[in-house]
Amino acid sequence: MAEGKRRRLAADLIILLLITLPACYPLLAPGIPATHDGLQHLFRFYDFDYALRGGELYPRWSPNLLFGYGNVLLNYYAPLTYYLSLPILALSGRFLLTIEIVCALSLLAGAWAMYLLGRPFLGRPGAFLSAAIYTYLPYHLADVYVRGTLGESLAFALLPAIL
């Protein structure tokens, strides 16, 4: 890759990071985010990691959920979100921080994907604008900060890439 292209790519990533930083700011608040699914994802992710450490490659039974009675949650809820979160957990060592980082990365990845989708059609300025609009869509932010759905937040990052 030419030096000029690398610099432009780095500059574009920095601009996208600056665009998404205000959207990620609420993740810096101390404590567990008050979302519909936030606390549940914390318990599910802990139990997922617990099962993986116990030797299960695809943990379907979550023994610690439902007050210790267990649940077959991963028969119905896709575990890809938790698999993708494991490297971040390995680096951070904290479940809540990992979930917050995954939410922030989903916003940044969505902005990057929308930028890449818009650039051939709108040029660089229009692509940055489309990335900003996509990042700050009310439903997109409500997905992260009200509903707290990790899987859907990551799907928002993939949606422009699929198009």
In a domain, 127, yes or no: yes
154: left (phi over 0), alpha (psi -120 to 50) or beta: alpha
Residue 1 has pLDDT above 60, yes or no: no
Tell whether 29 is covered by a domain: no
Work out the average pLDDT over 71-85: 88
Whether 4 maps to a domain, the answer reads no
pLDDT attached to residue 115: 96
146 within domain boundaries:
yes
**Residue 7 forms part of a structural domain:** no
- DSSP assignment string, 66-127: TTTT-B-GGGTS--HHHHHHHHHHHHH--HHHHHHHHHHHHHHHHHHHHHHHHHHHHHHHHH
Residue 131's pLDDT band (boundaries 50, 70, 90)? Answer: very high
- The pLDDT tens digits of the residues spanning 14-71 come to 999 999 999 999 988 888 888 888 888 888 899 999 999 999 899 888 888 888 898 8
Q: Is residue 11 part of a domain?
A: no
Task: Pick 66 or 130 by higher pLDDT.
Answer: 130
Whether 112 maps to a domain, the answer reads yes
| Nearest one of 24, 19, 14 to 103, comparing CA atoms | 24
Give the count of domains, the chain: 1
Q: Can you give the residue range of the structural domain that contains 132? A: 34-162
